[in-house]
Structures are given as structure tokens and as C-alpha cells.
């Protein structure tokens, strides 16, 4: 049996992915066979509603695991993404340990969390509930994004929240929060990223980051970033 994305992440494997923002099942299928370790479904900046997410997950089913970035720290969105069969969620703009704890609560079933249980694609529309409940805690990946000055300030506490699998740096939002919008290579931005990396390493939590190109990920590999995303479907198409 192939290892789950969660197990590969925990083992420290370097996992390469890309962002999918278009609601095209054909593009999703193409990315699913392109050789990526994972796909980043972006419902924060992409114009994707829950039905789009469901259809994209159906299009790549069994080929490439997907993490859904929800639009915000929203219980209903997290529930819907996981019920649709996402391998996990990425939650943006998480600036405190209290917010990170809410993410875990919304993503996990009792007694650890408060996720509701209903018939959905993830449990074969109710036909596989018992099987799903046995394996879900070993499969669902919970990722929070550190992309603000507040998050950097609180990163030690955020990284120590039980149930967080990875902290994902959003370098562009972080650069804006620091007062250098778009300047992801500014010394202040690099220092903040290093601070996040260091705190997560000390807490034993994996780190991820985005870059517009594969080459842009290079400097982050020695720092221990393993959940990597390069490029966006729209940019890849526009530049082709």
C-alpha cells in the first residue's frame, strides 16, 4: 500500500506540488499525471466554490493527493473540503496559536476536534463511514499558513499546537505584511522566513513554502522546507 501524503510529510520527504486555481477538470487531470507529489487546490485566490472543489477532486481521484486552501478560517469550508475527499486543508492568515487550535478543532472528529459527521464523498456517501473513521486521523493533513507579522511573532506557539502537520509560508502576503509587497527576497522577508523555519524545526513541525518558479524554491531546501509548491496553473499557461 502506498504511503499517504500525511505519512510522507511526517517522514520528511521533499514533496513537490503546484497551484490549481482554475475550475477546469481537464487541467486538473493533466496536472494529476504530470508527476507532482501533491496538488494545491486554491479556493482562497482561485474562483473555486465547494462544487468546483468536489469536481476537481473527482477528476484527480486516485492519482495525486490534493490539499485544499480554503478561503479563510471557516468551519463550514474546512468541513466541506474534507467531506469532498481532500487529503487535507491549508488555512490562510493564521496568526495565533488560538487560531491554529481552531483549525485543528474544525478538521478533526471528536474527541480531539469538533468536525461534524455526515454522508459525503470522503466516506463513500455514507457507505464507508466505519472504514473512514478508522483511517481518517492517519490521513487528514492540517496545514496553517504563516504569512503575516503577527504569525511570525507568534510562530513558536503556533508550531506547538498539537495536530498541526505543517506550517506553510506565504512569502508574497508576508512581504506585504512586512511593508515590502512583492519583494520576497528582501532581507526582512528572508529573516522572517528563517524565523518561521527555525521555530518549526525546534517544534518538530514540517514547513512548506511557495515560489513562482521551481528555481525559486532552491534557497529554501537547505533550510528544511519540504512541502513545496511552484507555479500557478494560470501563470504556467500564460507563459507557455
> Per-residue pLDDT tens for 37-59?
999 999 999 999 999 999 999 99
- What is the spatial distance between Cα 53 and Cα 38, in angstroms, rounded to a whole number? 15
Is the pLDDT at 1 greater than 80? The verdict is no
The overall average pLDDT reported for the chain is 97
- What is the spatial distance between Cα 204 and Cα 135, in angstroms, rounded to a whole number? 23
Question: Any idea what DSSP says for residue 240?
Answer: -
Cell numbers describing residue 60: 484527480
> Per-residue pLDDT tens for 54-81?
999 999 999 999 999 999 999 999 999 9
Task: For strands 15-20 and 38-42, give the pairing.
Answer: parallel
Question: What pLDDT, on a 0 to 100 scale, did the predictor assign at position 14?
Answer: 98
- What is the spatial distance between Cα 92 and Cα 168, in angstroms, rounded to a whole number? 9
> Per-residue pLDDT tens for 74-105?
999 999 999 999 999 999 999 999 999 999 99
Whether the bond between 119 and the residue before it is cis, its omega within 30 degrees of 0, is no
- What is the spatial distance between Cα 104 and Cα 18, in angstroms, rounded to a whole number? 24
Residues with Cβ within 8 Å of 235's Cβ and at least 6 positions away in sequence, in order, are 212
In the structure, what pLDDT confidence band is assigned to residue 2 with cuts at 50, 70 and 90? confident
- What is the spatial distance between Cα 230 and Cα 40, in angstroms, rounded to a whole number? 10
Alpha carbon of residue 223 to chain centroid? 19
CB of 70 closer than 8 Å to CB of 78: yes
Task: For strands 38-42 and 206-211, give the pairing.
Answer: unpaired
Share of the chain above pLDDT 70, in %: 100
Active-site residue identified among 45, 55, 153, 186: 45
Looking at the chain, how many residues does it have? 240
Query: Which residue in this structure is represented by grid cell 495565533?
Result: 96
Q: Is residue 55 among the annotated active site residues?
A: no
This model's pTM is above 0.85: yes
Amino acid at each position: 500500500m502506498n504511503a499517504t501524503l500525511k505519512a510522507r510529510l511526517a517522514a520528511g520527504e521533499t514533496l513537490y506540488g503546484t497551484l490549481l486555481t482554475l475550475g477546469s477538470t481537464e487541467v486538473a487531470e493533466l496536472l494529476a499525471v504530470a508527476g507532482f507529489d501533491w496538488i494545491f487546490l486554491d479556493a482562497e485566490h482561485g474562483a473555486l466554490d465547494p462544487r468546483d472543489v468536489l469536481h476537481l477532486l473527482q477528476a484527480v481521484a486516485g492519482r495525486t493527493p490534493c490539499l485544499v486552501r480554503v478561503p479563510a478560517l471557516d468551519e463550514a469550508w474546512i468541513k466541506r473540503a474534507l467531506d469532498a475527499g481532500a487529503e487535507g486543508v491549508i488555512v490562510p492568515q493564521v496568526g495565533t496559536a488560538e487560531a491554529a487550535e481552531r483549525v485543528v478543532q474544525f478538521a478533526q472528529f471528536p474527541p480531539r476536534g469538533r468536525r461534524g459527521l455526515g454522508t459525503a464523498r470522503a466516506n463513500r456517501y455514507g457507505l464507508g463511514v466505519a472504514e473512514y473513521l478508522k483511517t481518517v486521523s492517519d490521513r487528514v493533513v492540517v496545514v496553517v499558513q504563516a504569512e503575516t507579522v503577527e504569525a511570525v511573532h507568534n510562530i513558536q506557539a503556533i508550531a506547538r499546537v498539537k495536530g498541526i502537520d505543517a506550517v506553510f509560508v506565504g512569502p508574497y502576503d508576508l512581504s506585504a505584511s512586512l511593508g515590502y509587497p512583492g519583494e520576497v527576497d528582501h532581507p526582512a522577508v528572508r529573516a522572517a522566513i528563517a524565523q518561521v523555519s527555525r521555530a518549526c524545526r525546534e517544534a518538530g513541525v514540517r514547513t512548506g513554502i511557495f515560489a513562482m518558479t521551481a528555481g525559486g524554491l532552491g534557497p529554501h531546501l537547505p533550510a528544511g522546507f519540504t512541502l513545496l509548491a511552484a507555479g500557478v496553473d494560470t501563470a504556467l499557461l500564460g507563459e507557455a
